[in-house]
Amino acid sequence: MTDLVTKHGHRGAWGSNLQFMLTCIGYAIGLGNIWRFPGLAYENGGGAFLVPYLICSFFFGLPMIYMELSLGQFSRSGPGVVFGRLMPASQGVGWGMITVITLIALYYNVIIAWVLIYLFIIVTGNSNFWSTCTNEWNTISCTSSLEDDRCSLKLLGTEGGAQFFNGSCIITNGTRLNVTEILKSLNATPSSPAEEFFEGYVLEMSNGITDFVGFNVRVTIALALAWSITALCLARGVKWIGRISLFTATFPYIIIVIMFIRSISLVGARSGIDYYLLKPDFTSIFNPQTWRNAATQVCYSMSVGLGAILSLSSYNSFSHNCFKDAVIISACDSFMSVFGGVVVFSVLGFLAESMDREITDVVQSGTGLAFVAYPEAMSRMPLPWLWSLLFFVMLFILGISSQFGLSEVMCTAICDICPRLRRYRHYVVFCVCGSLFAIGLIMCTHAGIYYFQLIDTYCASFSLMVIILGELLVVAYYYGVSNFIEDIRMMIGYPKNRFSAIFGPSGYYLRIIWLFFAPFLVSVILVFALKEQIEFKLTRGRGFRTYVYPEWASLIGWFLSCLSLMCIPVFLYYNYNKLRQTKRNWKELFRVQKKWPSYNRINSGKMGENKMSSLRRDEICPSDLKAEEAWQMPAEVFRHVEELNTDLSNSKF
């Protein structure tokens, strides 16, 4: 029996508050902080982008993280149950979160599988695979200044005077071949050794989404290993995950500091940092698109609306101050994005310098940065194997710690809807991970990268904005922000001074954002995201190697986008049908349910000391917590009865 389950079959708890916070940090800080934020900042005014990004983090990211932390901690349930208890008509919002995060978990472990392949290549002493053009997977398009230098040293004993092309060394006598024009005449596009290693060796990429050919054995084995690691760690319960997080949430920071010290000393690093931060274009601040990109990045980077933070906080003690956690999580996430960007652009500046190219020609984001540009740059450093090892170890730790959070949502949801399974949680974990591995095998074929890109592009597009908007409407409007604030005060207590009354855990700052700013911002992002997806044409590659996805692939993408939204009407009908079968009024769909911890308070319309003492303790805080810990309610609760009655009289329930 895991530590997650007591002898009564109740939920367990974290080993310590520190373990919970580090697990959340490990989940929130993922691969996107390293490979998405720097490119986004570069495209949106460089250092000037930090202004809208940090503002959106404070006025949107932090409040939304705190909302989800509070929902999970107060209800001690995952997203599949929380919204059904708040309002049965909204249960589909929670299951929409679960659907989106399941799709993300599906392809996220594929990235970890690729990282494992790179790590295996490095530890077996073959890190030169992505720095040479003489391997069996290389094509005529492979070009590299390193290969040119090797040819010159081999034929002439000095740098310059010879050039590598089509697997051979050619003496140019000072006249450099225009490889780009030669390849253009052959309908080909120049590619780097790192690019061809990734596509030809790691992916064994076919020519199109319908060209399956067969399974890629390397990726299949690596994916099985990634899911095995995930399952074994999750099966031990949240205390075990918490212990692991002491390493996974801290070690990447050590690596990034080491890489920072090394990268800023590289030739060309200053030019890279200039492009990233030191030459800001402040005119971009007045561009609405910049603000939209900043808000979208905050949303994805802090995993707002995915339900993972909510699920993880459901194992907290009832009186834990999760507001402090929200502040620390959002601060660490922002710091890692900005600081990691300095490291990335220092290395890209070095790469541009060593290739005698403009930095605009080498800047990439996403998988192109992690698996092409960065390995290419490290292959040109002294001790390339060491820096490659540190980089991919960091990627693995960042990825697997995020994967724990992604997968935990599904396991929590299943155990919440069927509490009897809590005793057998390890079986639930193995079934979930095994099922996702089986589905993910489609990304282990030679056409796998096309399906990976399809899911990555569509699974959390405009649909995630709809879910976040639904979350805000349910909590702030239908349930009532006053009710929600009072729930928070039951856990954390009342403000102790004027500052905390405005900016504290139940301050007016949060009320205003949840009621007005956040819904408006998400609505604007939703409109832009929907417009963008309607006009979007999915492609892969560049130049003559550009592949345009067929129309039916776009239809599958739209289906994936709408799959999570389908949960809303499906669960609405399910709950309506359940009420009809029990001959209950359909209006119950829009009322707080009895299993919501503060149901008695909300339905009483008033609450005094006697009412508080008459509430069942196991309704306020589940019985697997110690009674003395669970019932240490702040004294301020009883000294603010009149204020509370005023708040409740204005609520919808």
pLDDT digits (tens, 9 = 90+) for 428-455: 999 999 999 999 999 999 999 999 999 9
Whether residue 642 is predicted with pLDDT greater than 60 in this model: the reply is no
Contacts of 600 (CB under 8 A, 6+ apart): 611, 614, 615, 616, 619
Contacts of 553 (CB under 8 A, 6+ apart): 209, 450, 454, 538
The predicted pLDDT at position 362 comes to 78
d(CA 39, CA 634): 47
Q: Nearest CA to 33 among 473, 318, 365, 518? A: 365
560 is in an annotated binding site: no
Q: Each residue of 562-578: pLDDT tens digit?
A: 999 999 999 999 999 99
* Confidence grade of residue 64 (pLDDT, cut at 50, 70, 90): very high
Give the end-to-end CA distance of the chain in Å, rounded to a whole number: 41
Contact 101, 410 (CB under 8 A): yes
Q: Nearest CA to 128 among 110, 144, 111, 112? A: 144
26 is in an annotated binding site: yes
Q: Each residue of 291-332: pLDDT tens digit?
A: 988 988 898 889 899 999 999 999 999 999 999 999 999 999
Mean pLDDT over 400-412 rounds to: 93
Q: Nearest CA to 337 among 67, 49, 114, 118? A: 49
Whether residue 157 is predicted with pLDDT greater than 80 in this model: the reply is no
d(CA 417, CA 587): 23
The predicted pLDDT at position 57 comes to 94
Q: For the whole model, what pTM was predicted?
A: 0.87
Looking at every residue in the chain, the average pLDDT score rounds to 85
The single-letter DSSP state of residue 605 is S
d(CA 492, CA 217): 52
Contacts of 500 (CB under 8 A, 6+ apart): 507
337 is in an annotated binding site: no
Whether residue 94 is predicted with pLDDT greater than 60 in this model: the reply is yes
Whether residue 193 is predicted with pLDDT greater than 50 in this model: the reply is yes
* Confidence grade of residue 177 (pLDDT, cut at 50, 70, 90): low
List C-alpha distances in Å: 294 to 72, 112, 152: 27, 26, 47
Whether residue 153 is predicted with pLDDT greater than 80 in this model: the reply is no
Mean pLDDT over 120-139 rounds to: 90
For residues 484 and 33, the model is more confident at 484
649 is in an annotated binding site: no
The predicted pLDDT at position 166 comes to 74
The predicted pLDDT at position 619 comes to 39
d(CA 311, CA 346): 37
The predicted pLDDT at position 175 comes to 63
**Contacts made by residues 374-377, CB under 8 angstroms, sequence distance 24+:** 374/344, 374/347, 375/118, 375/130, 375/194, 375/197, 376/130, 376/131, 376/192, 376/193, 376/194, 376/195, 376/351, 377/347, 377/348, 377/350, 377/351
DSSP 108-147: HHHHHHHHHHHHHHHHTT-GGGGG-S-STT--TTB--HHH
Residue whose pair of structure tokens reads 């929670």 in the numeric block = 94
- Domains for the chain: give ranges and CATH numbers: 17-126+212-453+486-510 (1.10.4160), 140-190 (no CATH), 584-649 (no CATH)
Contacts of 311 (CB under 8 A, 6+ apart): 72, 78, 79, 405, 408, 409, 412, 413
The predicted pLDDT at position 315 comes to 92
Mean pLDDT over 49-63 rounds to: 93
Mean pLDDT over 401-408 rounds to: 93
Does the CA dihedral 214-217-221-227 come out positive or negative? negative
Collapsing DSSP to helix, strand or coil, 249 comes out as coil
List C-alpha distances in Å: 473 to 173, 523, 527: 71, 11, 17
Contact 465, 529 (CB under 8 A): yes
278 is in an annotated binding site: no
Contact 369, 35 (CB under 8 A): yes
**Contacts made by residues 203-209, CB under 8 angstroms, sequence distance 24+:** 203/114, 203/446, 203/448, 203/449, 204/446, 205/446, 205/447, 205/449, 206/445, 206/446, 206/447, 207/547, 208/447, 208/450, 208/547, 209/447, 209/450, 209/451, 209/454, 209/549, 209/550, 209/553
Whether residue 192 is predicted with pLDDT greater than 80 in this model: the reply is yes
CA angle 517/519/522 to nearest 5° reads 105
**DSSP β-bridge partners for residue 539:** 548
The predicted pLDDT at position 38 comes to 85
Q: Nearest CA to 436 among 106, 128, 210? A: 106
301 is in an annotated binding site: yes
CA angle 615/617/623 to nearest 5° reads 155
The predicted pLDDT at position 407 comes to 94
